[in-house]
């Protein structure tokens, strides 16, 4: 096996102002070759103004069994607008306008 090259994850930015989005991965010997190859494998149809490639090994990730790290144990709607009845209360004190 002569070329089990490292894997580079590919990210696209569809247009200026948009975030970069993960679209897939390529095998390549180095970053600039990865860009050159990814441009065609992932960019020949999708609109793209900018592309990143990142070595897979550089990505630090959580484990799926730790998905519970992101779960809420108690009600945290106090930090959301939808967690309030202020519209009703403001109307009751004479303000029917937008909050």
Rounded (5°) CA angle 70-72-80: 105
Residues between 10 and 39 with contacts to other proteins, criterion CB under 8 A: 22, 24-30, 32-33, 36-39
Interacting residues with other proteins between 56 and 85 (CB under 8 A): 56-57, 59, 61, 63-65
Kindly report the backbone phi and psi dihedral angles of residue 68, in degrees, each rounded to the nearest multiple of 5, phi listed first.
Answer: -70, -15
Using CB under 8 A as the binding rule, whether residue 47 contacts other proteins is answered as no
Least Å from the CB of residue 62 to other proteins: 9
Strands 50-55 and 20-27: unpaired
- Is the Cβ of residue 59 or residue 93 nearer to other proteins in the bound state? 59
Using the CB atoms, write b or e for 26-63: b if 16+ within 10 Å.
bebeeeeebbebbeeebeeeeebeebbbbeeeeeeeee
Asked whether 41 and 34 are in contact (CB, 8 A), the reply is no
Of 2, 75, 80, 85, the residue at the interface with other proteins (CB under 8 A) is 2
Query: Does 7 engage in binding with other proteins (CB under 8 A)?
Result: yes
Residues of this chain that interact with other proteins (CB under 8 A) are 1-5, 7, 9, 22, 24-30, 32-33, 36-41, 44-45, 56-57, 59, 61, 63-65
């Amino acid at each position: 096996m002569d070329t089990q090259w490292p894997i580079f994850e590919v990210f696209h930015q569809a247009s200026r102002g948009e975030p970069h989005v993960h679209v897939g991965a390529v095998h390549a010997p180095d970053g600039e070759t990865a860009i050159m190859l990814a441009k065609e494998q992932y960019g020949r149809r999708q609109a793209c103004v900018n592309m990143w490639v990142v070595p897979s090994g550089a990505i630090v990730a959580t484990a799926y069994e730790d998905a519970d790290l992101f779960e809420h144990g108690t009600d945290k709607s106090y930090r959301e607008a939808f967690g309030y009845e202020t519209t009703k209360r403001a109307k009751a004190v004479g303000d029917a306008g937008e909050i």
